């Protein structure tokens, strides 16, 4: 046995099928590929019902006057100019075929089930029926069936028991079929997610740009620091080289200083020895001079005695020198010879000393 609701649904489907059969010929004449599609037939029947609702004089076309009255009286638009222009465009008389082709070329015709659910949530503002829409898989092609009075679909299938909700859904469906999707048909949270995504992307790009520039600046500073370190290292190596050369020069100077000090000590020692030798020579010369002086004095005495004797001898022409005088003459001769030898030895000694002094001076000059 079947329940009352099931029999009611079955009856509604039967009546709907009778209407579909009446429209099948018209749809096949207009759109041959879709005339065998049951959903397309149902949507075409809804389009026919909407066209009939707008065609007050039943002449088969909807003119601008009829559209204006429909917008003001049925859809309650107080300023329908934009809607009027969007519906008619350049065609002043809209037939069923024109309405059907306009509907097929609409963006809403190709909506998915999710897009229809988003439209129900945002534009219609009836989110409580989202589950029923999703369960029946209502996509964009099924929306004309919501734009007409279809109690079977709205009440029995979708479980929309509130009459105000049904009327609101029907008006929103009429608006979207005749005039296209609303400007804000997209879900607000999707826009928010998109905006946040764009903002995050821009933030990421900016962060990447800042990091790249910072990395470039850090790399530039690092390269400059490395160059500075290289220059400092080179300067340190140069200083080390200069220090090493200075140390080497200092060692050379010290060695030279030792040599010079040694030479000075040797020269001082030589000078001391020479001074000692000269002192001795001077002392010897002084002794020699003293002896020579004594000899000269003695010789002078002898000469004076000799002259005295010569004077006596001249006074005595034929006088023979006495024996004592002969002794003095002999002694005078010996003293003269001795004095001559002393002077000769002194002269030779002085000549030898002068020669040795000249040789020493030449040696000192060559050594310096």
CATH at residue 178: 1.10.238.180
d(CA 332, CA 347): 22
- Residue 227 resides in a domain: yes
Question: DSSP class of residue 142?
Answer: G
What 3-state class would DSSP assign to 202? helix
Residue ranges of the chain whose pLDDT lies below 70? 1-27, 29, 31-32, 34, 74, 76-91, 183-190, 282, 284-286, 288-289, 291, 295, 312-326, 358, 361-362, 364-368
Last residue of a domain, one of 157, 186, 215: 186
Cβ atoms of residues 54 and 70 within 8 Å: yes
Question: What tokens does 238 get?
Answer: 């140069």
Per the document, the length of the chain is 368
Cβ atoms of residues 63 and 92 within 8 Å: yes
The verdict on 108 and 170 lying in the same domain is yes
The verdict on 164 and 37 lying in the same domain is yes
The verdict on 54 and 167 lying in the same domain is yes
Last residue of a domain, one of 186, 221, 239: 186
- Residue 197 resides in a domain: no
d(CA 49, CA 144): 10
pLDDT at 42: 85
Per the structure, how many domains does the chain have? 2
The verdict on 302 and 358 lying in the same domain is yes
Question: What tokens does 266 get?
Answer: 């040797």
Closest listed residue to residue 309, CA positions, set 332, 325, 320:
325
- Residue 34 resides in a domain: yes
- Residue 200 resides in a domain: no
The verdict on 52 and 131 lying in the same domain is yes
Alpha helix locations (H) across 31-80? 38-54, 64-69
The verdict on 24 and 71 lying in the same domain is yes
- Residue 195 resides in a domain: no
The verdict on 115 and 245 lying in the same domain is no
The verdict on 234 and 126 lying in the same domain is no
- Residue 65 resides in a domain: yes
d(CA 346, CA 285): 8
The verdict on 139 and 252 lying in the same domain is no
Q: In which domain, by residue range, is 151 found?
A: 4-186
- Residue 198 resides in a domain: no
- Residue 267 resides in a domain: yes
Cβ atoms of residues 139 and 118 within 8 Å: no
Kindly state the helix (H) or strand (E) to which residue 321 belongs, with its residue range. none
The verdict on 81 and 182 lying in the same domain is yes
The verdict on 44 and 161 lying in the same domain is yes
Last residue of a domain, one of 155, 186, 217: 186
Does the pTM of the predicted model rise above 0.85? no
d(CA 19, CA 170): 20
The verdict on 355 and 277 lying in the same domain is yes
């Amino acid at each position: 046995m079947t329940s009352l609701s099931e029999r009611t649904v079955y009856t509604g489907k039967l009546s709907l099928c009778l209407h579909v059969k009446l429209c099948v010929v018209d749809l096949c004449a207009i759109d041959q590929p879709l005339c065998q599609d049951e959903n397309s037939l149902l949507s075409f029947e809804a389009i026919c019902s909407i066209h009939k609702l707008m065609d007050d004089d039943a002449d088969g076309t909807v003119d601008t006057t009829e559209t204006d009255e429909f917008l003001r009286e049925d859809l309650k638009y107080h300023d329908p100019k934009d809607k009027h222009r969007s519906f008619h465009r350049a065609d002043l008389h809209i037939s069923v075929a024109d309405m059907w082709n306009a509907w097929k070329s609409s963006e809403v015709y190709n909506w998915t089930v999710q897009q229809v659910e988003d439209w129900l949530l945002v534009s219609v503002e009836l989110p409580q029926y989202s589950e029923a829409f999703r369960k029946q898989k209502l996509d964009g092609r099924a929306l004309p069936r919501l734009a007409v009075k279809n109690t079977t679909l709205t009440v029995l299938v979708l479980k929309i028991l509130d009459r105000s909700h049904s009327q609101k859904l029907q008006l929103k469906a009429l608006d979207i079929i005749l005039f296209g999707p609303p400007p804000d048909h997209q879900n607000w949270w999707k826009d928010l997610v998109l905006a946040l995504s764009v903002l995050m992307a821009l933030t990421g790009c900016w962060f990447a740009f800042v990091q790249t520039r910072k990395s470039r600046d850090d790399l530039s500073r690092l390269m400059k620091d490395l160059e500075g370190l290289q220059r400092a290292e080179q300067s340190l190596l140069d200083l080390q080289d200069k220090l090493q050369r200075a140390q080497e020069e200092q060692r050379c100077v010290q060695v030279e200083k030792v040599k010079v000090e040694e030479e000075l000590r040797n020269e001082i020692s030589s000078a001391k020895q020479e001074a000692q030798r000269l002192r001795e020579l001077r002392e010897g010369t002084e002794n020699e001079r003293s002896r020579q002086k004594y000899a000269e004095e003695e010789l002078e005495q002898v000469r004076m005695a000799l002259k005295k004797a010569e004077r006596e001898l001249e006074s005595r022409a034929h006088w023979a020198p006495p024996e004592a005088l002969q002794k003095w003459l002999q002694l005078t001769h010996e003293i003269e010879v001795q004095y001559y030898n002393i002077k000769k030895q002194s002269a030779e000694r002085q000549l030898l000393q002068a020669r040795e002094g000249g040789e020493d001076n030449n040696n000192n000059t060559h050594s310096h």
